[in-house]
Amino acid sequence: MELKEDWEQAKQRMEAWWVGEMLDRPCLQVTAPKPGWQERLRRAAERPADISLERWWTDVELILERERCRLEGTFFGGEGLRPVRVVWPELEEKHIDFLTGLPNRRAFDEALRLAAGEACRQCAALGIILFDLDHFKKVNDSYGHHTGDAVLKIFASRLRSSVKSMDFAARYGGEEFAVLVLAAEKEKVWEVGERVRRAVSGAPFFVEGKELVITCSFGCAVFPLDGPTAEEAVKAADAALYRAKEAGRNRGLCAGWESSL
């Protein structure tokens, strides 16, 4: 943990979270801090790179204790974060995708805001997975949009049957789908995506007498580990999805990973 890269990353997180985003979040539970405590945290973030992160974090904890601040969970590396607990709201007709029957993009965005807010209040984590059907344009071009729509319906069915009822699966737009996973560890989030990928590629799609081989790629991230805001975490998942497709498709990657498990 004494590598300079780790140190620089820790400094960036300190500045982005403590001095910026995290100062106003309830999970800090700040109680009557003494004047100037934010500046002392700033100075703590500027310690020389030859001091280990363990020593640095100990110093930060002492500052927090002196300023009567309590931190629930460890944001540096995610140790101590638990899966967020959330109850998804009842969906209205306007929140349902007419083709697949899944929640639509509007419903997903509202669910994401709800879950991210709960994650901040609970000092918990939330998994985000973005899926994209590989070479879907070729399906439309070769067989027509009617067949393409049928493929989307079958994919949605396999997606729904591959995730837990407590997770939130939605059609993100076009041939893209998304899942909010109530998990805190990237490996567990990736496993959900991999389960969906295998369900899709493991058996052909039968559409009007045609046997189609369909695959998908996915990218995943964990909020708040992969972004100080839910939007940034989604961007991280999208970037991982792009890298998965660039690597050959029919695979999944998590933010910060160079390869799949």
Evaluated on CA atoms 34, 36, 40, 41, the torsion sign reads: positive
- pLDDT higher than threshold 80 for residue 111: yes
Q: Looking at the structure, tell me whether residues 225 and 189 fall in a common domain.
A: yes
34 and 142 assigned to the same domain: no
* Span 7-30, average pLDDT: 45
The reply to whether 24 and 104 lie within a common domain is no
Q: Is 120 found in the same domain as 175? A: yes
> Six-digit token pair at 143?
């067989």
Measure Cα distances from 4 to 1, 11, 14, 256 in Å.
Answer: 9, 11, 15, 17
Domain boundary among 47, 66, 85: 66
Q: How many domains does the chain have?
A: 2
Least confident of 12-16, 90-94, 101-105, 121-125: 12-16
Q: Please check whether residues 58 and 166 belong to one and the same domain.
A: no
Check whether residue 166 and residue 220 sit in a common domain: yes
Does 79 fall in a domain?
no
Q: Residue 243 contacts by C-beta under 8 Å, 6 or more apart in sequence?
A: 219, 253
Q: Is there a single domain that holds both residue 227 and residue 106?
A: yes
Q: Give yes or no for residue 127 having a pLDDT over 70.
A: yes
How far CA 256 is from CA of 78, 226, 238, 244, 259, in Å, comes to 14, 8, 12, 12, 9
Using CA atoms, how far apart are residues 24 and 104, in angstroms rounded to an integer? Answer: 31
Backbone angles phi, psi at 88, to 5 degrees: -70, 140
* Domain range enclosing 226: 93-254
Q: Is residue 134 part of a domain?
A: yes
My answer on whether 186 and 245 are in the same domain is: yes
Pairing state between β 82-83 and 124-133: parallel
Q: Are residues 106 and 212 in the same domain?
A: yes
Residues 123 and 178 in one domain: yes
Which residues share a beta bridge with 126?
A: 223
- Residue 244 placed within a domain: yes
152-198 pLDDT per residue, tens:
999 999 999 999 999 999 999 999 999 999 998 999 999 999 999 99
Give yes or no: 175 in active site.
yes
In a domain, residue 124? The reply is yes
Q: What pLDDT, in 10s, does the model give residues 226-238?
A: 887 888 899 999 9
Mean pLDDT of 207-217: 96
Q: How many CB atoms lie within 10 A of CB 120?
A: 22
pLDDT above 80: residue 89: yes
For the chain, the average pLDDT equals 80
Is 13 inside a domain boundary?
Answer: yes
Q: What is the pLDDT of residue 122?
A: 78
Neighbouring-strand partners of residue 169: 179
Is residue 259 situated within a structural domain?
no
* Best CA proximity match to 236, nearest among 128, 132, 83, 78: 128
Note the helical H segments in the chain: 4-13, 37-44, 53-66, 105-122, 136-143, 145-162, 186-201, 230-246
Question: Is the residue at 81 inside a domain?
Answer: no
Judge if 16 and 103 occupy the same domain. Answer: no
CATH number at residue 228: 3.30.70.270
Q: Is residue 189 a part of any domain in this protein?
A: yes
Task: Pick the catalytic residue from 15, 54, 175, 191.
Answer: 175
Residues 187 and 145 reside in one and the same domain: yes
